[in-house]
Structure 1
Amino acid sequence: MSSKILIIGACGQIGTELTTKLRDLHGVNNVIASDINTRNLDLVNSGPFEIIDAKNYNAIHDCCLQNNVKTIYLMAALLSATGEKYPMEAWDLNMNSLFHVLNLAKEKVIDKIFWPSSIAVFGPTTPKINTPQYTICEPTTVYGITKQVGERWCEYYNKKYDVDVRSIRYPGIISHKAMPGGGTTDYAVEIYHEAIKSGTYECFLSEETELPMMFMQDAIKATTELMQTSSENIKVRSAYNLAAISFTPKQVFESIKKYIPDFTISYKPDFRQVIANSWPSSIDDNIARKEWDWQHDFDLDKMTREMIDNLQKLVCKVDLG
């Protein structure tokens, strides 16, 4: 039996598109998607799918043994805004799921792990401009705490047990294919949907809040390239800084207006503003660019064109039935 890839949390914002890309690269039958629900019917019906709770070690273990899974992408997590509402649930899911896959690699059941970290590991004491790879990390959210601790455990398992675990500190991710799942950067997806749907948007962050962002195609590209890189080139076993573009709600609004001139915006910052204020405005990812040749493809205007073109096609498709 050929070795397989398992994606845990495949129905999430990143997991959905990652599954498609990995199936293109490795073959549909070699990539098993899994989640706790089957609501994403397009994904469920597009290839092998298992219902797996990321907190259930036995379910993950059995799936790996039965299908000869040798690589796991652990994409399940409770994100920043949702994590503040349910802190213990966030800790339970985010930490225990990581321990499960790290221990499977320690026990030689699997060979390789991808686990996403986040810019949420940074905090108000972190340098905000061109945040370096190695810097102060004092996160102020439950999500950020779980990611910071997770980074330390990844590095520990690599050094102590030679576990091949790889990670990226994702910035805010923007996609037209899947809605976000409770993060502080969600506005940057919602704003495009509302521009098409209603022509107006009420933003939950202030107009000058600058945050690191990335178009989904760049995030998927970075993830697959990191996993395809030779192990000896991976020097950072906590998580790599990753960057593409940084912008404010005002700047993305102005980019959208180039294509939808009547679009309007208002601002009503909520609890997520405090979270955003604790995060960097730009990231230095030179180490990733040097060690595994990372390069992003999308700037703000190129991303806006892609988002609007695809969302308008989706609206037309819905209208036509």
Structure 2
Amino acid sequence: MQLMKPLWRRISSQLVVSFRSQSRASSTISDPGSSTRTLVSNAEGDWPPRVLITGGLGQLGSNLAKELRKRYGVNNVVLSDIMKPTQKILANGPYAYADVLDVKHLHSLVVNYNIDWVVHFSALLSAIGEKDVTRALKVNIEGYHNIVEVCKSHNLRLFCPSTIGAFGPSSPRNPTPDVTIQRPRTIYGVSKVHVELLGEYYYYKYGVDFRSLRFPGVLSAGAPGGGTTDYAVHIFHDVIRTGEYKCFLREDTRLPMIYLPDCTKATIMALEAHPSVFHPEMRTYNIQGISFTPAELVEEMRKYFPNMKVTYEPDERQAIADTWPEVLDDTNARADWNWSHDYDLPKMVKEIVEKLSKST
């Protein structure tokens, strides 16, 4: 019996075919930056690609899906997660349940949705992972094993981010180069070193088109997650709501950060870049946005909240932060595929304040 296509795909099949036919006429499109870039198409030679995003209901996945749908068409980007989506998420484009621990189901998603590229965001972050190491091992390592095997089986391009947490206390901290000693002290960091090395192995051994970026702390106006750098998100929400914030890091703790639009831009640039632009010995690149301390962030925020009150009470997350880079050296990303960030600290703070002020 013939497998029935998903409802959204049957309804829009003519639109998708038309969009693909028009898009294949050119192999050069604008990248998220200011330049244009020659792109490589998917394994079948079609453009645009069909993309599956795992762990898609977090801030990274939802924002990336929004931007990719503008570029490739709404129905060519499938958002997935293990949680029930809101009606707004469902209205924005195709959504599928995807448990990264169920490899057979992952295979079926790739086949049924005709996927070309996978963006793998499913992971437990640093602070959460330390509280549940067993679950972090399953999601971050076993889940990644399943994803990379699926990509190998179906000849898919794979983007999976790494993190500043992949470095450790013996790594140089300012600046931290792309290639250096990595001995992280968190299960999140250990799992991301595993992602980097296994991805490279599958690239050299099996030809899997693996790409990765080491993300700094990713900041936005959205709800904070479970990361050590999320103090820089919590502070906006608490100060707007109460005028006060208790910071769980020391005021002089410098960490690399990136604003969400810049993070999305970097992801798209790395995802779309022609294989020839990558360094022959490098599948994982640092990307740097801005580096600042809690005290420097507070100073900038006082332009908008002059009476805000901040106290510092470091907790167990301080020990994690003390092992991480202060500044990432992203010279190679800027040289190889023209990466550049758009937001400095004043511009980011201004935009977050404006967004949160409108929503309150």
TM-score (norm 2): 0.85
User: Displacement of 1:101 after TM fit?
Assistant: 2.0
Change (3 A) 1:199 1:39: farther
- The alpha carbon displacement at 1:41 in A equals 4.1
Deviates more, 1:98-107 or 1:147-156: 98-107
Q: Are residues 1:85 and 2:131 paired? A: yes
CA contact (8 A) 1:70 1:111 kept: yes
Cα distance per residue 1:208-234 (max 9 Å; x no partner): 000000000000000001111101112
Give 1:160's match in structure 2, choosing from 191, 194, 205: 205
What is the aligned partner in structure 2 of residue 60 from structure 1? 106
CA distance in 1, matches of 2:354, 2:168: 36
Segment drifting more, 191-200 vs 120-129: 191-200
Aligned partner of 1:234 in structure 2 is 278
Distance in 1 of aligned mates of 2:243 and 2:263: 28
CA deviations on 1:10-31 (whole Å, 9 max, x unpaired) are 1012112111111111111111
2:331 corresponds to 1:286 = yes
CA contact (8 A) 1:61 1:104 kept: yes
Please state how far the C-alpha of 1:121 moved relative to its aligned partner.
0.6
1:295–1:222 CA distance, 2 compared to 1 (3 A): same
Structure 1 residue 86, shift from structure 2 partner: 0.5
Match of 1:319 in 2: none
Secondary structure of the structure 1 residue equivalent to 2:229: coil
165-174 vs 225-234, which deviates more? 225-234
Worse-matched range after superposition: 36-45 or 248-257 = 36-45
Tell me how far apart the structure 2 counterparts of residues 237 and 46 of structure 1 sit (CA, whole Å).
Answer: 35
Contact 2:69 2:77 in 1 (8 A): yes
Any gaps of 5 or more consecutive residues in structure 2? 1-16, 21-48
> Could you tell me whether the CA contact under 8 Å between 1:222 and 1:294 is conserved in 2?
yes
Q: Please list the CA deviations of residues 135-184 of structure 1 after superposition, one character each: whole Å capped at 9, or x if unmatched.
A: 110100000000011110010000001110110000000011x3232111
On the 8 A contact 1:257/1:263 being kept in 2, the answer is: yes
The equivalent of 1:49 in structure 2 is 95
Q: 1:276 to 1:40 in 2, by over 3 A?
A: farther
Task: Indicate the SS of the match to 1:185.
Answer: helix
2:43 alignment partner in structure 1:
none
Show the counterpart of 2:165.
Answer: 120
Structure 1 portions without partners, runs of 5+: 316-321
Map 1:136-285 to 2 at 5 A: 136-176=181-221, 178-235=222-279, 237-285=282-330
Q: Which amino acid aligns with 1:10?
A: G
> For the Cα contact (< 8 Å) 1:7–1:19, is it kept in 2?
yes
Q: Distance in 2 between matches of 1:212 and 1:282?
A: 5
Q: 2:342 matched to 1:297?
A: yes
What is the CA-CA distance between 1:39 and the residue it aligns to? 4.5
Alpha-carbon deviations, 1:24-55, whole Å to 9, x = none?
11111111100000254432331100111121
Q: Deviations over 1:57-87 (max 9, x none)?
A: 1111101101101111000100000000001
Question: Whole-Å Cα distance in 2 between the matches of residues 33 and 59 of structure 1?
Answer: 15
- Counting aligned pairs with the same residue, the percent is 40
Indicate how the Cα distance of structure 1 residues 151 and 118 shifts in structure 2: closer, same or farther if over 3 A, else same. Answer: same
Q: Distance in 2 between matches of 1:239 and 1:286?
A: 13
Looking at structure 2, the residues matched to 42 and 302 of structure 1 have their Cα atoms a distance apart, in angstroms, of 29
Inter-CA distance 179–110: structure 2 relative to 1 (3 Å threshold):
farther
How far, CA to CA, are the matches of 2:249 and 2:179 in structure 1?
Answer: 28
| 1:135 and 2:186 matched | no
Paired positions, count: 313
**Alignment-mate amino acid for residue 118 of structure 1:** T
Q: Is the 8 A contact 1:233 1:291 kept in 2?
A: yes
Moved more, 257-266 or 295-304: 257-266
Map of 1:318 onto structure 2: none
Deviations 1:236-277 (A, max 9, x none): 544211101100011111111011111111111111000000
| TM-score of the pair, normalised by structure 1 | 0.95
The answer to whether the 8 Å contact 2:203/2:209 transfers is: yes
Distance 1:262 1:20 in 2: 37
Rg comparison, structure with higher value: 2
CA RMSD after TM alignment: 1.3
